[in-house]
Structure formats: structure tokens, C-alpha cells
Homo-oligomer: A and B are copies of this chain.
Amino acid sequence: MSTLPNAEQLFQQLCQQIKPLIQENTALIGIHSGGAWLMQRLLDTLTVQPVHGTLDVSFYRDDYLQRGLHHEPKPSNIAFDVQDRHIILIDDVFYTGRTIRAAMNELFDYGRPASITLAVLINRGGQELPIAPQICVHHMQVAQNQNIQLLQHADGSFYLELEDC
């Protein structure tokens, strides 16, 4: 088994790439759950807080009926006007692109953003759609029968876990 990258280091790199993009008209949105954790830790480092929210795309995914619900879906929480915003959408792992298609569709249900920039920690390979992150700090090939996910220690620090699925 290959060694997993250090999630805290990847998180620092992600912050470095996101911070210069934050302007007056920027909103941060974290995808539940890993992306929302990343966003919260990023917000903790900022003196001026941009508007922000979270998305849970369980109901929007195109394979909802196949996958069912493995967790109680958290309602999305977007308490600002999406219209004409520059949105930075944050997720932990990029895989097929289907989650991101769902996230874009949910965002457009709220309004028409000026732009959406997708920022992720890891691209695990396996793209199935013409969807790709503009910001990605680590590429690795993960087998189809494996799952990589971001987790948090009790002190809030990040680590990655690879498991068979």
C-alpha cells in the first residue's frame, strides 16, 4: 500500500491557493462533509470572513437511487444571494465529477453565480464528465474498489483514510 499524503500539509497548500482569490464579492461553499470541514478550518485563519455556506448534494446526485442514503442528509445552508457571486466551491476528493455536477445544479437553483471555482485537496483519478477542479493540490490514482476520505482527529487536525469498499 502506498503511503498516504499528509492531509495537514495539503490543507496548508490549498489555503495558500484559495486565499489570493478571496475578494469582496467572493463566497465560500464547502461540500458536506469533507469540504465543509476544510472551509471551516480555512475560515478560522481569516481575519475578514467572506460569506459562506455548505452544500449537501445527496439528493441531487444522478445515482441517488442506486446509492441510497448512507447518512442523514444535512440540508444545505446557503444564507446569502448567490446571484453574480464569485463562488469558491471546496471539496476534499475529486473523483468522477458527478458530485460536482450535482453541486453546480444545486447552486444554480439559488441563482446565477458570476463564476464557480472548484478547489480540492486530492484528484483521485476516474473522471467521467467534462468537469475538473481549477485548483487541486495533489493527484493520486486510487483503485475503483477503494475509497479515500478526509477525516478529522478530535483536535480538528486532518488525516486521510484509504479503505476497501
Contacts and interface: CB of A to CB of B under 8 A. Distances in A.
8 contacts: A100-B130, A101-B101, A101-B104, A104-B129, A105-B105, A116-B130, A117-B130, A131-B131
A112 B115 CA distance: 26
A20 B111 CA distance: 40
A145 interface: no
Nearest to A108: B62
Interface in A83-140: 89, 100-101, 104-105, 108, 112, 114-118, 127-134
Contacts of A63: 112
B134 A133 contact: no
Contact of A130 (B89, B105, B128): B89
A165 to B, nearest CB: 19
A130 B118 contact: yes
A134 B130 CA distance: 6
Contacts of A118: 130
Contact of A115 (B62, B105, B117, B128): B128
A134 B127 contact: yes
A115 B131 CA distance: 11
A124 B14 CA distance: 27
Interface in A45-101: 62-63, 89, 100-101
A128 B112 contact: no
Nearest to A103: B130
Contacts of A127: 134
